[in-house]
Amino acid sequence: MSDLPGDVQVTVGWLYPSALSTYGDRGNVQALVQRARWRGLKARVVHIEPASVIPEDIDIYFIGGGQDRAQAQVAETLVGTHGSVLRARLAEGASLLAICGGFQLLCHEYVTVRGERIAGVGVFDAVTHGSRDRLVGNVCANTRWGQVVGFENHSGRTWLGSGTEPLGRVDVGHGNNGEDGTEGVTSGRAIGSYLHGALLPRNPAITDWLLQGGLRRRDPTSELTRLPDHWERATHQPFAHKRG
């Protein structure tokens, strides 16, 4: 059980699930909720669509991936009304996970393969350029949370700004752009990544880091109890022989 009072609730805000919900990324939301509940915490999920008002009590935000058309459909709202709210909540200590297309929208801009520019929120100091070739396959990356694994499938090439911290460095796979060895990005309590799989069920240390940030937004003294993660760690074994 958690050291928190029993009436504390963790609220996950899922941004645009009807448009950006590709490659099973809903598993990230399920992992956040389940790992909270395993600790005796109350948890709920709020779906936030473009016409929605973002509630004030969101502790952890999630935005998934989608095709270029779906990204363009939500970009105006995300950059406008929702973007200013999101930046303010992150400054207050909320956590965020953005995967693939969502990751791209939280950078400064996404330039499609046709040269169309989709403005981003600017949470991450990075830009993305479309490509006709896709980067697809398993990924293993070294991060501050240890070895992180997942699956990538993206045509966009993301380039981080100078001094921006990546989520990790790839041992296996392409990463952000297939050239500089970086995968994803971190900024404050926000993470962007190309890793599907879904990312959080296979990498519980990141899940718990996001949960801890969300809980401390409500109670700065909160601490998560440890959970046994035997099955989650077992998902890393197929990569062991590839690391040399």
- Return the active site residues: 100, 196
Task: Say if CB 210 and CB 60 are below 8 A apart.
Answer: yes
The DSSP string of 152-192 is EEE--EEEEPTTPBPSEEEEES-TTTSSS-EE-EEETTEEE
Query: CB-based contacts of 78: which residues, under 8 Å, 6+ apart?
Result: 15, 16, 50, 86, 105, 121
- Provide the phi-psi class of 24: left if phi over 0, else alpha when psi is between -120 and 50, else beta: left
Distance, CA of 167 to CA of 41 (rounded, Å)? 28
Task: Say if CB 150 and CB 202 are below 8 A apart.
Answer: yes
Helices (H), 48-203: 68-79, 81-91, 101-105, 199-202
Cα 186–chain centre separation: 9
